Structure 1
Amino acid sequence: MTATLTAEDERYSELFDVVKETTAHGGEVFGDLTPGMNALRNKHPVMQGSLRELLELPPAPHTMYENERPHYTLLNYELCNRALRENLLFSSEVYEESPGVRQLGKVILKMVGDEHMRYRRMVQPMFIRPKAIKWWRKNWIDNSVASLLDRLETMARADLNLDLCARLPVSIVTQGIGLKGDDALTFRVHLQKSMMARTLPMEEVMQAAGEVSRMLKEVITARREKPEDDVVSELIQCELELEDGSTRLLEDEEIFSYCRLIILAGGGTTWRQLGITLYQLLSDYQNWEDCKADRSLIEAAIEEGARWMPTDPTFPRLVKEDVEVYGVTIPAGSRVDMCLGAANRDPEIWDNPDVFDLHRPRGKQPHLGFGMGPHRCLGMEVSKQEMIAAIEGLMDRFPTMRLDPDAPEPQLLGGLEQRGMSVIPVILR
């Protein structure tokens, strides 16, 4: 895997560019949308219309959903927190209406209630904090970070977005699943294409989906014959509790679905969030110096980055019953956008919420950057360990690293759902 991780492979620049990623899925690229989201929240915590409409952005060239519904947007912390926690009322079943998400298969992202609890409870032990530290870091994270830092040692300047942030997460999740060598990037290429029904011919989409299934089938077959210390081997042995209390082993398609979701989410969100955090540490250099002196602040920086600029600032839900909030009745059958980007900067919850504050006191209310409630990010602890290991490694190897003043100015870009840094150009020594 090391050869692929450190290779000069053009697929990294194709797969891990926020502009290319957004346009490939039929979206449009925007700069910082936070001022507009904040203004909407300050006007009213719930408003009729999609977030796109309320921000007065151009109509999307391709819609995420195959049907029209009444649309509302939740903008403050209280409402977004409630919608995330009350998943039977604000339902994740909305993802069933997205052809792209349907390609992932039977994923917990779309489940609610007892079904979601049973499917999630079965795999959660692989992603808790002790497992992230003792299993993921030991098996995959630390070695991958070391290999990437060895590569950076040969450079005077680098773009951390492509040379570190993009490479690390996709390597970790694909190794964790059980894919080897070049399969990491090949699999991600096919997985991305399999979800691009809005922008690619259906024949190409289905061909890519077939390749995804073929590659996963090979891993599962190999692990059934000879288990290894990886996620697929664990999934093969997992027992799903059924409604009547009995249990059964997972079917291959259910294992496929877990793998698709883990690789898609784990290889994307961590890439972008790590870049956002690194840029904030380097753009205000005192942050870098403070973390270097007190390494416990690195996790605080990651948490603050996820509050200050979550890479996914909006998520959808389907309202199952009429509900009245702040004097606004949202009828059953409506689609809502939970604007976490605005909720995470709610002045009712945080002082000076627009400021990235490394030393911000931990309040009673946690931020929503990793979600909340039953669908809180499954891989959150693994993602944080990847980011901690990467930042610690950079500080150890390149303690005087700084942003390159002669390089293009980094920008926060992306669509409404997925956002990250354009580049992070640095002088390493």
Structure 2
Amino acid sequence: MRREAEAIGNLVEVAEIMPRIHALRDEGPVLKGRLRELLGLPLHERHARAAGRPHWTVLSFEAVEAALRNAAVFSNSVQGHDNPAGEKTMGILEMDPPVHRAYRRTIQPRFNMPEAMGWWREHTIDTIIERLIARMGRGDRADLNLDYCARIPVYTITTAIGLDGDEALRFRHAYLNSTSSSRTVTMEQRQANAKIVESTVLGLIARRRQEPKDDLVSFLITMKLLMPGEEPRALTDREIMAHVKLVMVAGGGTSWRQMGIALYALLTHPEQLAAVRADRSLVDDAVEESLRWYPTAPYFYRMVMEDTELYGHAIPKGAVLELGLGPANRDPARWERPDEYDLFRPKKTNLAFGFGTHRCLGMNVARVEINRGINALLDHFPNLRLDPEARAPFMTGGLEQQGVSGLPVLLR
């Protein structure tokens, strides 16, 4: 996390940001200007389409939720990359209704909770966790962040897609370096990596068209796109590829970091960890509170599609909203002691997975991965605790992406 943020000039000290966010929110739920500008941080363009446009920053729960509810005015199209063919390079992430709804329906059935608890667990999650637990169990120490949290979602997603281990690692590395804004990756390297991504996925799709298997690509080949006013049709290879790229990178990276944050929360709050050990029904509450406390992706952008008004601000068409999901999750108007991790706090919906049209596609799978992962650790290592001889873990990363520095633990 830290190296990635440093490479793009995006590093912040995560623990120091929230007091400054609270002070800004006290000035109003919506503020004119980029968040980085308001915090006095160096400029970093997260999305090419947002460059050069006026920005407004949204920091309260109520205002962020209102913007997420209104996809017609506040569009996710800001996430895309313009290209000569007009191809949706970010897939459903840059689409709006009704097109978004039509494409999402071709993949959503595989990510509903019954599928997460059934197909995903049986096909991938439980077996992967068992293998990782057995491997870690050979020693007395581990770094859960790398040895466990990073591997469960990446292996889960790649297995579900239908890629084998070496091919999956090659694909993930190539994809990250084909879209990277890192100053160490040249344009030629990005283009070369983009070719690897395309050849890997298109090759897999071609094999599955010839010989279907019980995987996500084979499932997508069978689905029909039901676009309003058009005849139902099968997805093209490039449409399937867009879905695959999205679930591979989003599912692998965000679930990894959020699982690490959930374990970091429990390991640094021993009394709450003890309560979870004694009553496993609290695992879901512990995970939800970690999502509220530190969502791994705390900021999202929206393009304003028409002149509008938001909490006293006249915002013109073409402007950009920076939505603070992380700040919204710590809004003192909604939560008492918002900066504290407390799994026993009254249950209220948080915005870690978004809200409305673009609510996280893979949230059910992520919840099952994290729940099963924590339960397995507590089953096999009842004395699990932070390693007192190692450097204490801390939150790190960029403003828009955060995770834990490491999770060095004693297993016994």
Q: TM-score surpassing 0.5?
A: yes
Q: Would the aligned equivalents of 1:157 and 1:426 in 2 still touch at CA under 8 Å? A: yes
Q: Would the aligned equivalents of 1:190 and 1:209 in 2 still touch at CA under 8 Å? A: yes
Match of 1:79 among 49, 63, 85: 63
Letter of the structure 1 residue corresponding to residue 175 of structure 2: L
Match of 2:338 in 1: 353
Match of 1:278 in 2: 263
Match of 2:54 among 58, 64, 70: 70
TM-score with structure 1 setting the length: 0.92
Q: Would the aligned equivalents of 2:47 and 2:78 in 1 still touch at CA under 8 Å? A: no
Match of 1:332 in 2: 317
Letter of the structure 2 residue corresponding to residue 115 of structure 1: V
Letter of the structure 2 residue corresponding to residue 421 of structure 1: V
Deviations 1:215-274 (A, max 9, x none): 112211111111111100000001001222420000000000000000010010011111
Letter of the structure 2 residue corresponding to residue 147 of structure 1: R
Match of 2:247 in 1: 262
Find the aligned partners of 2:393 and 2:248 in 1 and give their Cα distance: 27
State percent identity of aligned pairs. Answer: 44
Match of 1:384 in 2: 367
- Please say if 1:153 is aligned against 2:157: no
Match of 1:223 among 208, 217, 238: 208
Find the aligned partners of 2:30 and 2:198 in 1 and give their Cα distance: 41
Q: Would the aligned equivalents of 2:4 and 2:182 in 1 still touch at CA under 8 Å? A: no
Match of 1:240 in 2: 225
Match of 1:4 in 2: none
Q: Would the aligned equivalents of 1:37 and 1:341 in 2 still touch at CA under 8 Å? A: no
Gaps in structure 1 of 5+ consecutive residues = 1-17
Alignment of 1:24-173 (within 5 A): 24-32=7-15, 33-60=17-44, 64-65=47-48, 67-97=51-81, 105=89, 107-173=91-157
Q: CA deviation at 1:118?
A: 0.6
Deviations 1:351-406 (A, max 9, x none): 2222211112213xx10001000100000000111101110000000011101111
Q: Would the aligned equivalents of 2:88 and 2:94 in 1 still touch at CA under 8 Å? A: no
> 1:242–1:64: structure 2 CA closer, same or farther, 3 Å change rule?
closer
Alignment of 1:169-180 (within 5 A): 169-180=153-164
Letter of the structure 1 residue corresponding to residue 68 of structure 2: L
Letter of the structure 2 residue corresponding to residue 308 of structure 1: W
Bigger mean CA deviation after superposition, 258-267 or 78-87: 78-87
Gaps in structure 2 of 5+ consecutive residues = none
Find the aligned partners of 1:97 and 1:248 in 2 and give their Cα distance: 26
SS at match of 1:345: coil
Find the aligned partners of 2:380 and 2:46 in 1 and give their Cα distance: 45
SS at match of 1:329: strand
> 1:103–1:428: structure 2 CA closer, same or farther, 3 Å change rule?
farther
TM-score with structure 2 setting the length: 0.95
Match of 1:362 in 2: 347
Letter of the structure 2 residue corresponding to residue 289 of structure 1: A
Find the aligned partners of 1:408 and 1:103 in 2 and give their Cα distance: 46
Deviations 1:267-300 (A, max 9, x none): 1001111111101111111111111121121111
Match of 1:312 among 297, 320, 324: 297
Q: CA deviation at 1:59?
A: 2.7
Q: Would the aligned equivalents of 1:103 and 1:195 in 2 still touch at CA under 8 Å? A: no
Letter of the structure 2 residue corresponding to residue 203 of structure 1: E
Match of 1:10 in 2: none
What is the alpha-carbon root mean square deviation over aligned residues? 1.7
Q: Would the aligned equivalents of 2:80 and 2:88 in 1 still touch at CA under 8 Å? A: no
